[in-house]
Amino acid sequence: MYFLGIGLVLLLLKYLEIGPVAAWSWIVVLSPFALAVVWWTWVDWSGHAKKTEMDKLDKRKQERIDKQRTAMGLPSKKR
């Protein structure tokens, strides 16, 4: 997501010819978009996104279990 933000800012600066970005080549200005594509490809290929989502779900599940155990007056089990 950072690559997209940087790319949009550089694109805007190049289009409006503001600062030193106006003198840069288009390849340099558009390179953050290519890096974003590479990043998303790697994240999907490596399973990083799926693992992060599963970790979030596991954490929510454990918090729900701990809350229910506390409501019943039992000590919560920490992993």
Whole-structure pTM value: 0.64
For the stretch 44-69, pLDDT in tens is 899 888 888 899 999 999 999 999 99
37-50 in b/e form (b: 16+ CB < 10 A) is eeeeeeeeeeeeee
According to the model, what pLDDT value does residue 63 have? 92
User: Rounded CA gap, 43 and 50, in Å?
Assistant: 9
